[in-house]
Structure 1
Amino acid sequence: MNLRKNLLAASIATLPMMLAHAAGPQMMAAPVAQTSPQESAGLAAKLANRPSSAGLGMQHGFAIAGQHPGVAGTKITRARHTYNGLRVFGSESVVVTDAADNIVSESVSDRRAGLNAARGVAANGARTGAPDLTPALSGADAIAAVVRSVAPNGVHRWAPQAELLIYPVMKSVRVAAAVNKAEAALNATDLEDVVDHYELAYLVKTRMADSRKRVLYHDTVVNAKTGAVIAQWEALQTVVGSGKSQYNGTVPINTTLSGSTYQMKDATRGVGGTFGGMAITNANHAPESNPTPGTIYTNSTNTWGDGLQYVSGGSTTSANGQTAAVNALWGLMNTYDTMKNTLGWQSLDGNNTATYIAVHVDNNYDNAFFDPNCKCMYIGDGGSSFNNLGSIDVIGHEMGHGVIDATSNLTYSGESGGLNESGADIAGEMTEAYARAGGTGSVIPATGNDWVMGQEISKSGQPLRWMYKPSKDGSSPNAWSSTLKNLNVHYSSGPNNRMFYFLSQGSNASSGSDYYSSYLTKQPLAMTGVGNDKAYRIWFKAVTTKFTSSTNYADARTKMIASAEELYGVGSKEATAVKRAYAAINVGTDVDETTGGGGGTSVERITNGGFESGATGWAGSTGAIGAFSGQTAYEGTRFAWLGGNGTTATETLTQAVAIPSAATAATLSFALHIDTAETTTSTAYDKLTVTVKNSSGAVLGTLATYSNLNKATGYQTRSFSLLPYKGQTVTLSFAMTEDSSAQTSFVVDKVSVLTQ
């Protein structure tokens, strides 16, 4: 093997793909095609064989719910957990697959375990076992019951839906270490949500308007036996809760010329959708109870608006009436560009589907909202509290709801609802920062946004929300508490907004500062931020590839840390900043910045993960370890070069590692560079398989399979949870197989298993 690599060195050393590091964080891929039923069935079968599904019976399964792009070369699939064909609400997997449909990673929110047990009471007091699965009510009965309670004289804007499912009724219990803690001293990680019992239920979605001309969107969980309401939450995602723009001066806007008439449709951003491109329409005072988009704005010239607040009762198509449309189009263009140019994400769904914004909703309407049914936004002109609601941060906020709707779909209630609202605020602020700097480039500027939501639209000058200190609004808390889930989602968003501010901008050590947190007790007391660009990349990766509909604050912390580690490395300053930012809002404990983020709590379980001590700690094809010409190390001088022969070969590196039974986190990470002489874009000729084995060599789980189809410039950091193997000593295996011609090199470095 070494001979072949040395012979190749001269010819491949100068290729661009030999760069040791990628130029920057990975970008999202182009739109993806939805899988066929056969492909979905194949993925479901693969999932059923993974460790996360161990111990589940034949009645358990997976239902593919949706797909969107991942980073280049991957796609994200959301798979709902099922029992006897019925969805288990809030229980799902987020699966990353590569171009060859191999599973790269799986993020899980699992609420299935009790369904596999006989009916009874578990040690934690939960009632286990599946409910009787024969409903006493029909879906129509459930819808009728909800309509009677929500708006008995209302009308449906969208057809109501009723889905029969298994609803886990959750309860919070203290972890063992927090049993004797005072309530006021609890940290978010001191509690865990467990299933109390299961109910056969209907999830009823009603999108109505009542007799008082209010839009009433509700999701209601109805007991399928008795008709009793188990849970209910609002489903309408609100913000309140060259043309002249009202808030931005003269701005460039993209329009379409049709004959001699200009249309306010941007055909360069997004495809398809209701209007064949990103469009701004004139709702022309259609009532809140039944807002219709109306028609696309048109004009005889390409000069729009007067830059002034709309005069109530005036024409919606005059220069004054056009200003609301200018506000909307400029905001929509910048929201699209922020995500595409910096993250590679196209439109709201990642698949570049065009959306639209309807302006002039109702009369004196003091709100704006994203409607998940049309994947569109409605904007009011303002009334007693606000001017026109088309400021850049408000539009970015509502479009942020659209991204969450297309990906993690965080349930709009409790802690997940707060995270949903916070995610929209984050999108609004990052769009504002990008737009204020000119709306170009691949990086979100470190400054430019004001870290308050909706100040421009407020008639009083008071913002809707202060991200850096949420309590300034008089209702939002600055930190997590056990009662956070009981608040309106616009208030429960507060702590996560503050987390994001600290992650980006850092904190202040003075107790009198608005930027101070008493929960930061490690050194330095003023935590260091990582800037807007990195903070947003970490957040966006977590939301799109790891969060599920039931993610709460503690789960968000875990998945944000994993995202930071995948983007910037285990022990990186970015991962440390995530830990500290969440600690600052009472989610997890604080760590010292000077200890690589471990704060003394992380333990490295791998010996010689950087290969600088040669073969020490490793077994198998140890001749693959060295400082060879033709490849470069991720760090230091040595690495493991598996493959690269151009002839039939198999090579394996292994190391045994113990995962403590008391571990609360166990993360395998490694840096991987793949280059190849293969020219195919469809066939995986050469492969590297990463598995976990027991002491007898039996495979306990396959973490990932890479091939010549995954070639990439520079190293990519990969990360996987080993927590399913806690209490075991397992063997990590990197196994390469190469066919008879055309080399593929799998270069591995910086292998780490950190446990806490």
Structure 2
Amino acid sequence: MSRYTPRVTMAALAATTALLVTGIPVIASASPSAPQTVAAQQAAVANRAALIADAGQQSASIAQSLGLGSQEKLVVKDVIADANGTKHFRYERTYAGLPVLGGDMIVHQTAGGVIKGVDKASNAQLVNINTTPALAAPKAQAAALAAESGAALDTAPRLVVYAANGTPTLAWETVVSGKESDGTPSKLHVVTDAKTGAVLFKNEGINTGTGTGVFVGQVTIGTTLSGSTYQMKDTTRGGGYTTNMNNGTSGNGTLYTKSTDVWGNGSASNSESAAVDAHYGVGMTWDFYKNTFNRNGIRNDGVGAYSRVHYDSNYTNAFWDDACFCMTYGDGSGNTHPLTEIDVAGHEMSHGVTAATANLNYSGESGGLNEATSDIMGTMVEFYANNPKDNPDYLIGELIDLNGNGTPLRYMDQPSKDGQSADYWSSTVGNKDVHYSSGVANHFFYLLAEGSGAKTINGVNYNSPTSNGSTLTGIGRDKAAQIWYRALSTYMTSTTNYAAARTATINAANDLYGAGGVEATAVANTWAAVNVGSVVSNSPTVTNPGSQTTQVNTAASLQIKASGGTGALTYSATGLPTGLSINASTGLISGTATATGTYNVTVTAKDTAAKTGSASFTWTVNTGGGGGCTGTQLLGNPGFETGTAAPWTATAGVVDNSASQAAHGGSWKAWLNGYGSAHTDSLSQTVSIPAGCKATLSFWLHIDTAETGTTQYDKLTVSANGTALKTYSNVDAATGYTQRSIDLSAYAGQSVTIKFNGVEDSSLQTSFVIDDTAVTTS
């Protein structure tokens, strides 16, 4: 992995109120915290604007460091800044001024400005693309209209480069409009080859979901007093408002206003009641994202979306349209069951969050992940609101009864119970409608949050199976939601599929809860339980200290190091030399060896789940006198766990504990290079090797590279007193760590400087990661 707003006037603030509305009219009082709330929103907007400006200023240099061509430009879409100063720049890409579909990427940068990694929607290289179309725009328009029966032109063709799948191709993107079978408006983006006219890709621009009617009960919503008239407009949440479509299908609708600050009566026959439901749901969704993820509105720009209720007649659906930045709700069958349940608002607004972050394509596996994100976050909004009239659960659309038999639309614990959704991934799951391919991710989230098997939550019975028969415990819905949001906002791109979603969520868990920790292991094994990837072990791993030599009747000390596992580790050992013992809590072997001989030692670490890991080595106890060698380990801070380099001498930033590259043992390691540009890093330490001793340098090495082929572009040289002993390169890259050993016996009786020197060329990163070093004498 590489290292790499609108203003609100004070007059409006003074008129902002919070009120009670439902079947029991209650007069609401003004909110005293409104000015402070809006001021905080404005500060957040200003901070985000500064981050975006910074990303824009760096875009050219970042493009160069990533090896992009002179025709390619990066355009900032969003920025996320972590508490430790790490920044995540989300860019769109252009080629010769043309938008690149599938060109989006996230660049991860340390607080020091070093690129630590890049996640791309496509790894295709944009070179030598002919930007002159063989087919003119009118022919592209005709091809797009022919691809969708009954459609009309919505947006004229624009020339793009399509790079989301295979070889980058010059293409036309045309938006055609129409209606789905249930009356939902359609805005279909049709991408056609600019040379042949063939349809390359189709992506629906309208995201749909479902909900229930007037069930929120007595709630508080935000309104604004304008003159002597109250408006259903909430200036404390970005100015979001609610309008009445009066069963029409065009326009923005009419803003709800009245002379009193009491709205609705709890009946669907009162048009204000559905508006109250929608407005309340928007407020709960805003608060959920703000208080859970510190997200300042859907686009994180402090701007609230608006809601349109009473759309069309007998319309039994709801949808998000990013073009109008709005949510729309139908009134259901007979215009008596408005689809304005809390989790519907959460679902629809979350489509907007997805559009503002990963912008997952609304087709194939990416479309399933898009829909699942809205189901997941809509469910979490429902748990956040904890409204007594809408019991929080893992059922989607449970109060609507569109099936006519009291069953929900979707089940997160076992999606196949709806008759069409997928419980587990298969190679054909992307062929399903996105509402049903979403079942894989919905099932994953439920299992990650709650675990497998039968259980009752909030009075609702669940029984969640696994594809591999595994038993899962769950890490809790709050951690699961943090992991999903982090993956969505920081690692997923427009083309992310289920395999990539597994990687994204593991990375997110590593960031949030520690690399290789319980949560990251749970994420990996939960994906395996829905047939995405394999089970990983979370058993402890013991670092082998290598062969040991001690003189009889002398004190010995050896610290055993282990990592992984669940909870605190306990240590045990068999075969220790007479007089030595191991501390069960710390893993320190100490004592005085009282009997000569060669001992076969096995040390074991055990976690709180009774999982174990072991390492075996020999320990020789020699007789004293005669100029024999006392076996010992000479390097200071061998595993870098002090968090600083000393007594090593290192280039700045080499000793590192970031999650981007995992340590072999503990949390710290030495990370040389990985910049993707001309760079040299070094790490050295001087030790004295006693005369008469054999000496061995050992270290664990992981090499990660973006280079390909068999040419050695980037090199790591290991030297002693300036003499090269061994060279490794990008050609030696491999998954995980490998222990390396070099004989230093020739330097007995001398002071020797051990040096690791990494040299990287001008493009494509190679990382040399070193941990758990030792110079052992015997």
User: Which TM-score bucket, shorter chain as reference?
Assistant: 0.5 to 0.7
Quick one: structure 1 residues 448 and 200, their matched pair in 2 at CA, closer, same or farther if it must change by over 3 Å? same
Quick one: structure 1 residues 376 and 249, their matched pair in 2 at CA, closer, same or farther if it must change by over 3 Å? same
Q: In 2, are the aligned partners of 1:88 and 1:112 still within 8 Å (CA)?
A: no
Return the alpha-carbon distance in structure 2 between the equivalents of residues 212 and 639 of structure 1: 60
Return the alpha-carbon distance in structure 1 between the equivalents of residues 176 and 301 of structure 2: 27
Return the alpha-carbon distance in structure 2 between the equivalents of residues 385 and 467 of structure 1: 28
Alignment gaps of 5+ in structure 2: 1-42, 456-460, 541-563, 567-608, 616-632, 683-701, 708-729, 738-754, 759-768, 773-778
Quick one: structure 1 residues 369 and 672, their matched pair in 2 at CA, closer, same or farther if it must change by over 3 Å? same
Are 2:297 and 1:347 equivalent residues in the alignment? yes
Quick one: structure 1 residues 377 and 572, their matched pair in 2 at CA, closer, same or farther if it must change by over 3 Å? same
Look at both structures and tell me which one has the larger radius of gyration over its CA atoms. Answer: 2
Quick one: structure 1 residues 41 and 324, their matched pair in 2 at CA, closer, same or farther if it must change by over 3 Å? closer
Return the alpha-carbon distance in structure 2 between the equivalents of residues 721 and 260 of structure 1: 70
Deviations 1:247-277 (A, max 9, x none): 121111121122222211111111xxxxxx1
Q: In 2, are the aligned partners of 1:370 and 1:376 still within 8 Å (CA)?
A: yes
Quick one: structure 1 residues 210 and 141, their matched pair in 2 at CA, closer, same or farther if it must change by over 3 Å? farther
Return the alpha-carbon distance in structure 2 between the equivalents of residues 246 and 732 of structure 1: 68
2:466 pairs, out of 508, 512, 517, with 517
Residue 440 of structure 2: SS of its match in structure 1? helix
Are 2:11 and 1:30 equivalent residues in the alignment? no
Quick one: structure 1 residues 285 and 727, their matched pair in 2 at CA, closer, same or farther if it must change by over 3 Å? same
Q: How does 1:741-752 map to 2 (within 5 A)?
A: none
Deviations 1:20-76 (A, max 9, x none): xxxxxxxxx9334547999666423332344xx35x6545x2321412443345654
Paired amino acid for 1:46: S
Paired amino acid for 1:517: T
Q: How does 1:294-309 map to 2 (within 5 A)?
A: 294-309=253-268
Quick one: structure 1 residues 506 and 36, their matched pair in 2 at CA, closer, same or farther if it must change by over 3 Å? closer
Question: In structure 2, what is the equivalent of residue 256 of structure 1?
Answer: 224
Residue 325 of structure 1: SS of its match in structure 2? helix
2:103 pairs, out of 87, 91, 97, with 91
Question: In structure 2, what is the equivalent of residue 125 of structure 1?
Answer: none
Q: In 2, are the aligned partners of 1:76 and 1:95 still within 8 Å (CA)?
A: yes
Are 2:487 and 1:564 equivalent residues in the alignment? no
Return the alpha-carbon distance in structure 2 between the equivalents of residues 85 and 429 of structure 1: 41
Identity of aligned residues (%): 37
Question: In structure 1, what is the equivalent of residue 74 of structure 2?
Answer: 63
Task: Compute the displacement of 1:169 (Å).
Answer: 7.0
Task: Compute the displacement of 1:526 (Å).
Answer: 1.8
1:535 pairs, out of 453, 456, 480, with 480
Q: In 1, are the aligned partners of 2:395 and 2:411 still within 8 Å (CA)?
A: yes
Residue 329 of structure 1: SS of its match in structure 2? helix
Q: In 2, are the aligned partners of 1:89 and 1:166 still within 8 Å (CA)?
A: yes
Question: In structure 1, what is the equivalent of residue 627 of structure 2?
Answer: none
Question: In structure 1, what is the equivalent of residue 159 of structure 2?
Answer: 164
Task: Compute the displacement of 1:484 (Å).
Answer: 1.0
Q: In 2, are the aligned partners of 1:79 and 1:93 still within 8 Å (CA)?
A: yes
Q: How does 1:414-453 map to 2 (within 5 A)?
A: 414-436=364-386, 449-453=392-396
Return the alpha-carbon distance in structure 2 between the equivalents of residues 589 and 752 of structure 1: 27
1:47 pairs, out of 62, 65, 84, with 62
Task: Compute the displacement of 1:79 (Å).
Answer: 2.0
Quick one: structure 1 residues 213 and 345, their matched pair in 2 at CA, closer, same or farther if it must change by over 3 Å? closer
Q: In 2, are the aligned partners of 1:667 and 1:722 still within 8 Å (CA)?
A: no
Quick one: structure 1 residues 652 and 34, their matched pair in 2 at CA, closer, same or farther if it must change by over 3 Å? closer
Paired amino acid for 1:615: G
Paired amino acid for 2:394: W
Q: In 1, are the aligned partners of 2:274 and 2:338 still within 8 Å (CA)?
A: yes
Are 2:96 and 1:77 equivalent residues in the alignment? no
Residue 225 of structure 2: SS of its match in structure 1? strand
Deviations 1:448-493 (A, max 9, x none): 6210111112253221111111101111110110001111111111
Residue 337 of structure 1: SS of its match in structure 2? helix
Are 2:333 and 1:363 equivalent residues in the alignment? no
Are 2:455 and 1:505 equivalent residues in the alignment? no
Residue 305 of structure 1: SS of its match in structure 2? coil
Deviations 1:668-689 (A, max 9, x none): 699999xxxxxxxxxxxxxxx9
| Number of residue equivalences | 564
Task: Compute the displacement of 1:505 (Å).
Answer: 0.7
Deviations 1:209-263 (A, max 9, x none): 699976221011111112222222322100059xx98212111112112222221
2:203 pairs, out of 229, 233, 237, with 233
Return the alpha-carbon distance in structure 2 between the equivalents of residues 395 and 558 of structure 1: 29
Are 2:613 and 1:615 equivalent residues in the alignment? no
Quick one: structure 1 residues 601 and 259, their matched pair in 2 at CA, closer, same or farther if it must change by over 3 Å? farther
Question: In structure 2, what is the equivalent of residue 457 of structure 1?
Answer: 400
Paired amino acid for 1:133: T
TM-score, normalised to structure 2, is: 0.64
Return the alpha-carbon distance in structure 1 between the equivalents of residues 102 and 443 of structure 2: 26
Residue 221 of structure 2: SS of its match in structure 1? coil
Paired amino acid for 2:508: S
Q: In 2, are the aligned partners of 1:386 and 1:458 still within 8 Å (CA)?
A: no
Paired amino acid for 1:79: Y
Task: Compute the displacement of 1:614 (Å).
Answer: 7.7
* More off after superposition, 577-586 vs 455-464: 455-464
Task: Compute the displacement of 1:83 (Å).
Answer: 4.4
Paired amino acid for 1:223: D
Question: In structure 2, what is the equivalent of residue 494 of structure 1?
Answer: 439
Alignment gaps of 5+ in structure 1: 1-28, 117-129, 171-194, 271-276, 311-319, 440-446, 605-611, 619-624, 626-635, 644-648, 658-664, 674-688, 702-719, 735-749
Question: In structure 1, what is the equivalent of residue 144 of structure 2?
Answer: 146
Quick one: structure 1 residues 671 and 349, their matched pair in 2 at CA, closer, same or farther if it must change by over 3 Å? farther
Deviations 1:96-128 (A, max 9, x none): 45778x255443225344555xxxxxxxxxxxx
Q: In 2, are the aligned partners of 1:656 and 1:732 still within 8 Å (CA)?
A: no
Quick one: structure 1 residues 485 and 723, their matched pair in 2 at CA, closer, same or farther if it must change by over 3 Å? farther
Q: In 1, are the aligned partners of 2:315 and 2:335 still within 8 Å (CA)?
A: no
Q: In 2, are the aligned partners of 1:96 and 1:104 still within 8 Å (CA)?
A: yes
Task: Compute the displacement of 1:721 (Å).
Answer: 11
Q: How does 1:242-391 map to 2 (within 5 A)?
A: 246-270=214-238, 277-287=239-249, 290=250, 292-310=251-269, 320-383=270-333, 387-391=337-341
Return the alpha-carbon distance in structure 2 between the equivalents of residues 425 and 211 of structure 1: 22
Q: In 2, are the aligned partners of 1:666 and 1:722 still within 8 Å (CA)?
A: no
Residue 30 of structure 1: SS of its match in structure 2? helix
Q: How does 1:665-704 map to 2 (within 5 A)?
A: 667=662, 692=673, 698-699=679-680
Task: Compute the displacement of 1:279 (Å).
Answer: 0.6
Question: In structure 2, what is the equivalent of residue 181 of structure 1?
Answer: none
Return the alpha-carbon distance in structure 1 between the equivalents of residues 135 and 348 of structure 2: 36
Task: Compute the displacement of 1:383 (Å).
Answer: 1.1
2:533 pairs, out of 573, 585, 588, with 588
Question: In structure 2, what is the equivalent of residue 717 of structure 1?
Answer: none
Deviations 1:302-344 (A, max 9, x none): 221121234xxxxxxxxx1111001001101100000101110
Paired amino acid for 2:242: I
Q: How does 1:461-472 map to 2 (within 5 A)?
A: 461-472=406-417
Quick one: structure 1 residues 248 and 228, their matched pair in 2 at CA, closer, same or farther if it must change by over 3 Å? same
Q: In 2, are the aligned partners of 1:519 and 1:590 still within 8 Å (CA)?
A: no
Q: In 2, are the aligned partners of 1:570 and 1:669 still within 8 Å (CA)?
A: no
Residue 284 of structure 2: SS of its match in structure 1? helix
Return the alpha-carbon distance in structure 2 between the equivalents of residues 353 and 34 of structure 1: 13
Are 2:191 and 1:221 equivalent residues in the alignment? yes
